[in-house]
Structure 1
Amino acid sequence: MNKKVHLEDLGQKDYKETWDYQESLFKNIVDVKIRNRREDASLETPNHFLFVEHPHVYTLGKSGNMANLLVDDKVLEEKGATFYKINRGGDITYHGPGQVVGYPILDLDNFFTDIHKYLRFLEEMVILTLSEYGLKAERSEGETGVWLDVGTPFARKICAMGVRASRWVTMHGFALNVNADLGYFDLMIPCGIKDKAVTSLNVELGKKEVDIDEVKQKLLKHFTTLFEAEMIKEKASI
């Protein structure tokens, strides 16, 4: 079981370019697994973790409802935003500047073969990170992601999640609002969930801006502990 995870921070990168890169890493892992099975081999499968910040973009999961995007192409263009239908689970999500997006591309055979546990670990990573900022974040039953003030009229989502998994290989991941422009969430029904607000870490802390690199380091610390992983920092490939 290879618990080494190759970490790349891509900086700000176009969504489609990053998606294509994810697909190539994902395919490489799957190809190794297929070869191992066909040839009765034992080649090591790699694991990856990408950090990225996207320009304004809306993505719709394969089970999502197009009606949850509340504006047309003209408005998207005026807002400088793009839109993609993609192959993850979940409904509609927004990505943009001031948001920490993480894409773990892991062979879960190297860790544990339980997709629900995988999602709970990603949520726990975010919950533990936010606790370091004095926030009590939690899960909302039946709603993947991380929330504040669950069970109250003030419930608000701070981190969205949506993943794809095939042959126990994962892609896509999480989007944590750190210094996000919350106005962009008004153009959609986030994750298809009506009447619940969205928030950002800087808003919750009453700050103009939170150090994004510090947030990333805290996320990685908890990811490493939860997954018992060894992070190997690499130069960005794209």
Structure 2
Amino acid sequence: MKLTFIDWKLRSYSEAWEQQTEMFNALIRAKLNGETYKNNIIFCEHPHVYTLGKSGKENNMLLNEEQLNAIHATLIHIDRGGDITYHGPGQLVCYPIINLDEYKLGLKEYVHLLEEAVIRVCASYGVTAGRLDKSTGVWLDVGTPRERKICAIGVRCSHYVTMHGLAFNINTDLRYFSYIHPCGFIDKGVTSLQQELGKEIAMSEVKLRLQQEINRLLDGKAG
């Protein structure tokens, strides 16, 4: 089953969202019309941006427009699930635009699969990560006062075709999370691989490891 990985490198959120949406709509059209299509998984980084999902609360953004300008960031309302999150340089963003029917996956199982891929990548660096009840994403020190999030997940799905995806903190400037209540949480921290390991991590290396894990997990589901 053909799965294409595309690296957009650094790309503005608005441009990436527009291109994602085009690919998403094209895949849905092809699926409904019985035409051929490709499943694509996109990697990229974004300039500083905050995105607020459909169920998000405005007051989880703690800065006004002038303050956002001062830190060279923007705020965009988008069509994924979830609340507010941050994207910026040093964070690996992954956008799978795939037909879940090909992999016999429901939406919950798909989110679980994305989480598992990140958990495995963290383990490959000696970082133990896991899941938090009633919350998507990947967390460290679950069940302790030091719970902190290393990867946010928010997806949109229509006709079992997906877009949006995950944001994995690698060498992220974590100060940018202090300007929001990430994903609506006010009592939990955020972290990155760099923070946990005490050194900068090669983004190209993490991309390769995440690609391999997603490939393995989806291959195991393909029928």
**Secondary structure of 1:100's aligned partner:** strand
- How far residue 34 of structure 1 moved from its aligned partner, in angstroms, is 2.3
**2:163 is the alignment partner of 1:194:** no
Contact 1:165 1:171 in 2 (8 A): yes
Alignment counterpart, residue 26 of structure 2, candidates 20, 25, 28: 28
Distance in 2 separating the partners of 1:173 and 1:148: 20
Alignment counterpart, residue 53 of structure 1, candidates 34, 45, 65: 45
- Deviation >3 Å, runs of 4+: none
Distance in 2 separating the partners of 1:155 and 1:72: 28
Distance in 2 separating the partners of 1:5 and 1:96: 26
* Residue equivalent to 1:176: 168
* Residue equivalent to 1:127: 119
Distance in 1 separating the partners of 2:9 and 2:213: 21
* Residue equivalent to 1:14: 12
Contact 1:145 1:160 in 2 (8 A): yes
- How far residue 35 of structure 1 moved from its aligned partner, in angstroms, is 1.8
- How far residue 148 of structure 1 moved from its aligned partner, in angstroms, is 0.3
RMSD: 0.9
Distance in 2 separating the partners of 1:75 and 1:112: 45
Distance in 2 separating the partners of 1:148 and 1:203: 12
* Residue equivalent to 1:234: none
* Residue equivalent to 1:79: 71
* Residue equivalent to 1:215: 206
Q: Which runs of 5+ in 1 are unaligned?
A: 37-42, 230-238
**Secondary structure of 1:63's aligned partner:** coil
Distance in 2 separating the partners of 1:170 and 1:35: 17
* Residue equivalent to 1:225: 216
Spell out, residue by residue over 1:55-90, the C-alpha distance to the aligned partner (whole angstroms, 9 max, x if none). Answer: 000000001101100010001000000111000000
Q: Which runs of 5+ in 2 are unaligned?
A: none
**2:156 is the alignment partner of 1:164:** yes
Spell out, residue by residue over 1:155-214, the C-alpha distance to the aligned partner (whole angstroms, 9 max, x if none). Answer: 00000000000000000000000000000000100000111000010010011x111110
**Secondary structure of 2:154's aligned partner:** strand
**2:52 is the alignment partner of 1:65:** no
* Number of equivalent positions: 220
Spell out, residue by residue over 1:137-168, the C-alpha distance to the aligned partner (whole angstroms, 9 max, x if none). Answer: 00001110000000000000000000000000
Distance in 1 separating the partners of 2:209 and 2:32: 35
Distance in 1 separating the partners of 2:9 and 2:79: 23
Task: Tell me which moved more, 220-229 or 70-79.
Answer: 220-229
| Identical residues among aligned pairs (%) | 48
Bigger-Rg structure (1/2): 1
Spell out, residue by residue over 1:81-128, the C-alpha distance to the aligned partner (whole angstroms, 9 max, x if none). Answer: 011100000000100000000000001111114000000000000000
Distance in 2 separating the partners of 1:50 and 1:219: 12
- How far residue 222 of structure 1 moved from its aligned partner, in angstroms, is 0.6
Distance in 2 separating the partners of 1:44 and 1:139: 36
